[in-house]
Structure 1
């Protein structure tokens, strides 16, 4: 066993010395290799992390949402629909929600107005998200004014700003009292934007949705799982769009790596001939060259993946953030929770390390089976 380990150590030492003799070619290949792994790993890490954040956020959302539809469009839902939903067996709780969008000409951005159920906000005051506070340079005690539906001026006093820790879901929030919300948009009492339903038994969500649909035929039922699948589709589309844009670079790298791995220089052929002449077996030569390819590809993979991890979770993925996160005036400023998917790492490893390593076998085998004297001449 010790003899085998000694042989492998010597083989690795010879491999490293062989790579150092071709330092320029080796470093150039590793630089291109590392850049490709960095780009692919950054996209995969960011998209997977933001999917996970969305899943965590949606886990606390209502199981069922009920919206009234009029002429195929979302309309306000009356309180009698809320009473009908509460009477359905299996519904744990149901409440009417008030939310909408308000355009702020001063910031050229849309705010998400909501009336929180808890804690209640005093009329005339507002709690703002971190993004709103940033674009308006608003501090607690400042005044913000907006035009209501009838043109009258409605003034709000900033009570506080929501912590940046929850910026992923609260960056554009504008939380007001119910009276102020109805005053802004002219919504009469007894009307809501939609209904949020909580179900006693999570396994009966689909059945409860069917009961609501039968009792209220003029409504649209939205399940939490459907919202999560929609987010998954959006992130998949954006990730795929970015990878398609990078497909040219990936293809160029594939051609470059294949040419470098499969094309042996005269110096490398002469080296193989000398090794065969001094007693090396063909299997030893193939093992040596495969080890060279493995050292290059594995080093590039590790460096590229570590750089991608630092880029995504410590620098905020600045290179790809606008594409993967979306386009908006109020970008949420937050740090993603570091998360690594083992299957994702294995997939990336398989498609970046193995092809280059395997591509070295055929040309080396062809050179190794030729007579050493012919190769050296």
Structure 2
């Protein structure tokens, strides 16, 4: 075992010397190789972190959201609808909610208005996310006036700002009292946007949704798990768009790597011939070149993955954030927590390290089994 290990160490030492003798060629290959790993790893890490963040945010959402449909479209919850649900077994809490989308004509951003009880937000006041307040140059105590649904300015005083920790949810959120919400949107009294239900047993969520759909044929229960799957599909779709755009870069690298790995220069062939002439075995030559491929590919993978980690978790992935986060006027500023998908990392490792390492075997084997005199000639 000791002699085998010493043999491998000597092969690695010789391999490093061989790489140093062709410094310019190998540094060019390493730079391109590292860039490819950096791009793919950044995309993978950023998408995984966003999925994890979405899962964390939705973890506190209600298990079931009940909407009313009219002619296949989302409609308001009429008076008495909440009571008509009755007591569904397994439902722990029912809450009628008021919220609406609002396009700010000044900034063009899509805002979310949500009514809170007057005890939380006083009438005539409003709570904003820090990002939205910064974009509008507002601070606590200032007065803002959004045009309401009648086209008239509706003045509201900024009572407080939502904490930065919740900015992924609150970046475009506007919290106001129920009375202000109904006056602003000319919302009919007794009507609501939807109903949030909390289920005591997570295993009974599907049964509760089925009971609601059967009891209220004009309703549409939306499960929290369905919302999670929707976010995953959105991120997968956007990640696929970027991969499609980058497929040309990947193919270019594949051709470049294959040409560099599979094509032996005259100097390399002469080196192999000399090694064979001084007593190296064919297996030793192949091992030496396999080590060469592993040194290049592993160095590129480690460097590219480390650079991707810094790019995503320290700088917020500025290269991919506009596409994967979505297009918006007001972008939420939030720190991504490392969430690494082991399967994605293993897949990235397999498709970036093994192809290059394997590409060196055939030309090296052909040169290694050729007569040393023929090779050197």
| SS of structure 2 residue aligned to 1:299 | helix
Q: Does 1:82 align with 2:75?
A: no
Q: What residue number does 2:149 align with?
A: 149
- The offset of 1:271, in angstroms, is 0.3
Q: What residue number does 1:20 align with?
A: 20
Q: What residue number does 2:232 align with?
A: 232
Instruction: Report Cα offsets for 1:314-360 as digits up to 9, x if no partner.
Output: 01100111111110001101110112222221111100000000110
Q: Which moved more, 1:86-95 or 1:255-264?
A: 86-95
Within 2, Cα distance between the matches of 1:311 and 1:119?
A: 43
Instruction: Report Cα offsets for 1:96-150 as digits up to 9, x if no partner.
Output: 0000022222222121000135962100000001221121011000001123223
Within 2, Cα distance between the matches of 1:301 and 1:233?
A: 28
Q: Does 1:276 align with 2:297?
A: no
The answer on whether the counterparts of 2:127 and 2:174 sit within 8 Å (CA) in structure 1 is yes
The answer on whether the counterparts of 1:130 and 1:172 sit within 8 Å (CA) in structure 2 is no
Instruction: Report Cα offsets for 1:214-255 as digits up to 9, x if no partner.
Output: 111111111111111111110000000100000000001001
Q: What residue number does 1:112 align with?
A: 112
Within 2, Cα distance between the matches of 1:40 and 1:26?
A: 21
Q: What residue number does 1:66 align with?
A: 66
Within 1, Cα distance between the matches of 2:324 and 2:12?
A: 41
The answer on whether the counterparts of 1:86 and 1:94 sit within 8 Å (CA) in structure 2 is no
The answer on whether the counterparts of 2:144 and 2:156 sit within 8 Å (CA) in structure 1 is yes
Q: What residue number does 1:160 align with?
A: 160
Q: How does 1:184-263 map to 2 (within 5 A)?
A: 184-263=184-263
Calculate the TM-score normalised by the size of structure 2: 0.98
Gap regions ≥5 residues in structure 1: none
Calculate the TM-score normalised by the size of structure 1: 0.98
| SS of structure 1 residue aligned to 2:116 | coil
Gap regions ≥5 residues in structure 2: none
The answer on whether the counterparts of 1:130 and 1:167 sit within 8 Å (CA) in structure 2 is yes
- The offset of 1:71, in angstroms, is 1.9
The answer on whether the counterparts of 1:167 and 1:332 sit within 8 Å (CA) in structure 2 is yes
Work out the number of aligned pairs and report it: 377
Within 1, Cα distance between the matches of 2:304 and 2:164?
A: 30
The answer on whether the counterparts of 2:118 and 2:177 sit within 8 Å (CA) in structure 1 is no
- The offset of 1:49, in angstroms, is 0.5
Instruction: Report Cα offsets for 1:286-308 as digits up to 9, x if no partner.
Output: 00001001000000000000000
